[in-house]
């Protein structure tokens, strides 16, 4: 088992990574005198029923099953959870546990951040994407008016328990989605990290091999950024948004018919195309990046989406200011540029060139 300590301005907490490690969380919760609400993805419950029941067997433990989807990641769903908490007399001394992927983690975190102005919560991520990214860092939120995570808050968890056993039942599409979020990390450090992540992603997709060392590598990098810029004020944390302004535009324009990580794959490649178009990388370098990661499938739905619609949603993104679209771009692994203002013309051209890029590698 690995343990990573994260020290932010608002809270310090541990991320525990291993296989079948949830007994640790049971011990921690049993020491607590308060009530505990487990908000669990219904699919996870169906697949891991015995494990979930073992967590909730105390009379003070409550189970709330959530139909996890981007369409259900709304204020209406938040309101229903508030009603459950109020009905069962939850107070600020009680706790909430999120068991599921990024959607469950985001909505649970937002509930915990806002119910009675904040109560403690724990993250138990069950998808590859939530393990390497969304369960750590304290970003919470819900979708509003079809805009991804338009409403949210920063609220760090008390602890994170990453149990690799959950990955055994993960569908192939969820593995691709998780790989998309790891793909981003390849460009945020140095050339050595780039090559390690490239080789690891190939093993994930071809052999379904998951190793705690790679998950901890992603978390440790994210932790090093979040610790310096927890609330995204200095700008450093924005590097973690590589490909994400595009991704959120794709997700919203396609009415969330693609997974977040699938959208990130397309978004990172579009960002690389723009990096080439404005002279940060050469055409040869762009094709090398595309060749190195050609095994990452790009969901073909993004090739058919209306670019005007993408632009509209990108302008609604939290990272946009003054109706101007700003992106995170790269010149080489580890050399990242934030807040690069780009034109609508460049955005549209990059989406069109995305399909052409993979025809040529």
Please identify every residue annotated as catalytic. Answer: 117, 139, 181, 222, 232, 237, 241, 244, 248, 260
How far is residue 205's CA from residue 207's CA, in Å, rounded to a whole number?
6
- What's phi and psi for 152, nearest 5 deg? -175, -175
Q: Tell me how long the chain is.
A: 361
Q: How far apart are CA 314 and CA 320, in angstroms?
A: 7
Distance of alpha carbon 80 from alpha carbon 102, whole angstroms: 19
CA distance 198 to 72: 33
Name the one residue in this structure whose structure tokens are 């609508």: 344
Q: Which residues pair with 41 in a beta bridge?
A: 66
Element (H, E) at 336: strand 335-341
The gap between the terminal CA atoms of the chain, to the nearest Å, is 40
Cβ 156 vs Cβ 119: under 8 Å: no
Paired tokens of 63? 């189970």
∠ CA 75-76-79 to the nearest 5 degrees? 85
Q: CA-based angle 260:328:335, to the nearest 5? A: 120
Question: From residue 20, how far is each of 74, 163, 168, 183 by CA, in Å?
Answer: 31, 6, 12, 26
Cβ contact 44:166 at 8 Å: yes
Asked if 181 and 242 count as a contact pair (C-beta separation under 8 A), the reply is: no
Q: By C-alpha distance, which of 199, 173, 177 is closest to 131? A: 177
Residues forming beta bridges with residue 63, ordered by sequence position: 38
**Residue 223: its H or E element:** helix 212-226
* Matching residue, tokens 């119910």: 115
């Amino acid at each position: 088992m690995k343990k990573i300590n994260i020290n932010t301005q608002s809270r310090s907490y541990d991320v525990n990574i291993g296989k079948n490690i949830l007994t640790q969380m049971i011990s921690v919760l049993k020491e607590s005198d308060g009530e505990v609400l487990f908000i669990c993805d219904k699919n996870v419950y169906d697949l891991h029923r015995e494990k979930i029941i073992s967590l909730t067997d105390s009379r003070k433990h409550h189970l709330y099953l959530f139909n996890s989807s981007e369409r259900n990641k709304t204020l209406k769903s938040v309101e229903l959870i508030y009603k459950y908490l109020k009905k069962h007399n939850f107070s600020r001394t009680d706790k909430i546990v999120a068991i599921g992927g990024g959607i469950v983690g985001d909505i649970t975190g937002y509930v915990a951040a806002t119910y009675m102005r904040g109560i403690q919560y724990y993250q138990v991520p069950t998808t590859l994407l939530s393990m390497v990214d969304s369960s750590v860092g304290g970003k919470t939120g819900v979708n509003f008016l079809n805009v991804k995570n338009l409403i949210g808050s920063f609220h760090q968890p008390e602890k994170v328990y990453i149990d690799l056993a959950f990955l055994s039942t993960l569908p192939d599409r969820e593995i691709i989605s998780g790989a998309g979020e790891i793909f981003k990390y390849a460009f945020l450090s140095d050339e050595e990290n780039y090559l390690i992540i490239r080789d690891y992603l190939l093993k994930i997709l071809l052999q379904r091999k998951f190793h705690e060392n790679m998950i901890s590598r992603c978390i440790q990098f994210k932790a090093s950024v979040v610790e310096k810029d927890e609330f995204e004020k200095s700008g450093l944390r924005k590097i973690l948004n590589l490909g994400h302004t595009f991704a959120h535009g794709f997700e919203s324009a396609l009415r969330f018919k693609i997974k977040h990580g699938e959208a990130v794959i397309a978004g990172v490649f579009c960002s690389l195309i723009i990096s080439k178009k404005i002279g940060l990388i050469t055409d040869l370098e762009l094709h090398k990046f595309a060749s190195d990661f050609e095994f990452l499938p790009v969901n073909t739905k993004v090739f058919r989406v209306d670019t005007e619609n993408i632009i509209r949603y990108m302008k609604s993104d939290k990272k946009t200011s003054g109706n101007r679209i700003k992106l995170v771009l790269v010149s080489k692994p580890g050399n990242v540029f934030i807040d690069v203002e780009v034109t609508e013309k460049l955005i549209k051209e990059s989406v069109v060139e995305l399909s052409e890029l993979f025809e040529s590698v």
